[in-house]
Chains A and B, each alone.
Chain A
Amino acid sequence: MEAILKRNRLGQWITELQERAEIYAPDFVEDTWEFAKVGRGATVELNHSNTVRPAKRFVFPQREVLYRFRIENSQSPKLTDTEPKVESTVVFGVRPCDGRAMVRNDRVFTCGFSDPYYQARHDNVVFVGLACNAPPSQNCFCVSVGGSPHSEDGLDVLMTELDGRYHVKALTDKGSDIVRSAGDLFQDVKAADMDDVGNAHAIALEYSQRSISSMEAVAAALRRNFDSPIWDKLARACIGCGACTYLCPSCHCFDINDEVTNKSPLTGARVRTWDNCQFPDFTMHSSGHNPREDTGARLRQRICHKLLYFVETHNMQQCTGCGRCITHCPVGIDIVKIANVMEEGVWQ
């Protein structure tokens, strides 16, 4: 289902959707773009570069209470399930790299054992994507990992900005629903509109991005160089923070801890929080033994998981080329450079 929305009607569409859902859109907060809740009557511009934090938090928030427990004096524990009762949510301005990341997250959270928390959130969120028309940010490389500035994967709607209007394409039932519900705001798509969409998409592909020449060759090189000393060299500057993975749209690792709020009666919650393969304690056994005990091994894990292991398991990279891990690394560790260095095999 496709339609045309005049630019000046975007606000009205959002207002109508606010009757039934919470609306999020990128907002410029503290000099950074962040998804923020759109207040009644607030203006949404959709002129953002990518948000610092990805859209994954709408399906996989940094903190999720799994259940609560309570033990009254030596009686058996009472467990209260807290599967999220999620408000309907529509997220505008999701870039295609974040959309494609959602396909990866779906693989992790719904294959095998289905994760009820992820599922409950996913069922109630509509991702409205926005194709990238402007020149890419300095570390974008979506095309190299099989994406594009207007990829539809993982999105419910894809909007493409044209001159004074948006081409709006619903991609799922949830997407069709939010377009159809405000049907009178939209116009039919004409042939000229489709030409403009085609042009906009073609121009976006013309912009030069950072590139990795062959993902197959990179995967093979990673497999070959697992024991190479290059990893220590590449990770020499790594400070072991979590910026790369916490900002990654497809990193999904988490920790589970008990948070006790009262000792007697013992009351608390079992809580999951984002965790991070770059932290030294991530894999440390109770004995103190740590299978990945230095930054080289941990960087290798991050890169190999994204560009080799996930490919072997799910036939797709677990990286969608958003470039956040590069831009926000405090010391310039660069997955594109690493991939190319690996493939070319040029290091001392």
Chain B
Amino acid sequence: MIPVEDIRARAKDLLQSGKVRAVLGYRRSTAGLLAEPAFMTTADETAALVLDPTCVGNLALYLVNEKKRMKHARQSDKRPLGIVAKGCDSRAITVLLQENHIRRDEVIVLGVSCETGGMIDTRKLNKALRGKGATSAHFEGEGGVRVSYVGGGTILPGKDVLADRCLECAKSYPLDADFFFGEKVDERPYGPRFAAVSAIAEKGSEERSAFWDAHFERCIRCYACRAVCPMCYCDECVVDSTNFIVGPTTSADEKADRVRWINRSATPSENAMYHMVRAMHLAGRCIDCGECERVCPVNIPLRLLNTMLEREALEMFQYTPGIDAEQPSLISSFRDGDPNDFVR
């Protein structure tokens, strides 16, 4: 159990001393149960900071977005950003470091451990509460999650309401933090890693194909999965028909010759192509924060695609992304002993 006052005090101190230009954390949202991102720039604002199982978002996304925003607005406050990061979020920060997208001194990590808990999946919660809208959720340690709703409250076992990624989480605390809150717990009372993807991977190819066809058919290509992903930071993306990095020197031919690999039409084949491309580009990079799956309005189990490739990376190359900022990323490295000869 992390006393949220400790995090508030630290955030307040960082802002008061001027060591950071802002602290990224969580606060209550008017939109619903889940906490929303908070960009705190004054010490007073830290009073609203919260930490509980509703803080599902991966704020590492904003390290990327803020960098783009600052560049765009021609702002040049060189002070680092403070960021509240759970285990998964901190692995995302590490991947960004591995890929030289940010420097370590650009960020001050307020690492929080999920200990034996995790983040709730609102769909599971709605089901468990049979439609009663939850108003708050708190860790009760191994007991599960204490949930309040209008006219009552209950304690639900973690396995019933926590997000799949949390149930499978192998490291529920940050490995790289400037300040650390909570306890490092390595024994977690839930299922094994890759449980969900293994269940689907065991099925025959026809069954899997039908499974994904049905899901991709429902995709509306809102790109929430791409937009929320801290690893999807490219200035240009293969699915966009326009080139976002047009400047005064971009020639007409460059613009005209841009290939449309994927049509805008949300047809099953185009949708499948989009999701496959995204998954492939996340191979060895996805740290399983599960945000893509959470934000999908039509509930496509996108996390399965990415964890499948994560499993492959582990099995084939004994590689886990986001563990060590000094480690070369999977795709940009090779070993002399590689069984394939194309690297030699």
Measured between C-beta atoms, what is the minimum distance from A234 to chain B in Å? 11
A337, B30: Cβ atoms closer than 8 Å: yes
**Chain B residues positioned under 8 Å from A273 (CB to CB):** 264-266
Bound-state Cα–Cα, A63 to B215, Å: 18
- A287 at interface by CB-CB < 8 Å: yes
Report the bound CA distance from A239 to B64 in whole Å: 11
Would you call A281 an interface residue if the criterion is a C-beta within 8 Å of the partner chain's C-beta atoms?
yes
Query: Distance (Å) between the CB of A73 and the closest chain B CB?
Result: 23
Q: A243-B297, A330-B224 are in contact. Are A237 and B218 (CB under 8 A)?
A: no
Q: Is the CB of B248 within 8 A of A288?
A: yes
Instruction: Tell me whether B248 and A257 are in contact (CB under 8 A).
Output: no
Please report the C-alpha to C-alpha distance between residue A333 and residue B222 in the assembled complex, in whole angstroms: 16
Contact (A246, B247) CB under 8 Å given A237-B39, A331-B36, A332-B34: no
Interface size bracket, A side: 35 or more
Task: Check if B264 sits within 8 Å of A281, measured CB to CB.
Answer: no
Given contacts A255-B264, A286-B255, contact A139 B242 (CB under 8 A): no
- Contact assessment for B228 and A330 in the assembled complex, using a CB-CB cutoff below 8 Å: yes
Least Cβ distance of B148 to chain A in Å? 14
Instruction: Select which of A139, A246, A287, A293 is within 8 A of B32 by beta carbon.
Output: A139
- Specify which of A329, A330, A331 lies most central, judged by the most chain B CB atoms within 10 Å of its CB: A330
Give chain A's interface residues, CB within 8 Å of chain B.
29-32, 34, 49, 52-53, 62-63, 138-139, 236-237, 239-243, 246-247, 255, 257, 259, 271, 273-276, 279-281, 284, 286-288, 293-294, 326-334, 336-337
CB pair B31–A246 under 8 Å, yes or no, is: no
Given A271-B265, A326-B31: A241 and B228 interface contact (C-beta under 8 Å): yes
Report yes or no: B244 in contact with A284, Cβ–Cβ below 8 A.
yes
B222 touches A246 (CB 8 A): yes
**Residue from B36, B250, B263, B297 within 8 A of A259 (CB atoms):** B263
Given A239-B65, A242-B224; A330-B294 close (CB under 8 Å): yes
- B48 CB–A CB distance under 8 Å: no
Question: Considering only CB atoms, which chain A residue lies closest to B229 in the complex?
Answer: A239
Q: Name the residue on A nearest B150 (C-beta).
A: A135
* Nearest residue, chain A, Cβ from B255: A286
Q: In the complex the two chains form, is B220's CB within 8 Å of A241's CB?
A: no
Taking CB atoms, residues of chain B closer than 8 Å to A286 are 246, 255
- Which of A49, A236, A284 is within 8 Å of B39, CB to CB? A236
Q: List, in ascending order, chain A residues with CB within 8 A of B224's CB.
A: 239, 241-243, 330
B145 CB to nearest A CB, Å = 19
The complex places the Cα of A246 from the Cα of B297 at a distance, in Å, of 10
Question: Across the interface, do A246 and B220 meet the contact criterion of CB distance under 8 Å?
Answer: yes
CA distance A139 to B33 in the complex (A): 11
Q: Is B72 an interface residue (CB 8 A)?
A: yes
Q: Which of A53, A239, A241, A328 has the most CB of B within 10 A?
A: A239
Q: What residues of A have a CB within 8 angstroms of the CB of B226 in the complex?
A: 241
Q: Which of A34, A139, A241, A275 has the most CB of B within 10 A?
A: A241
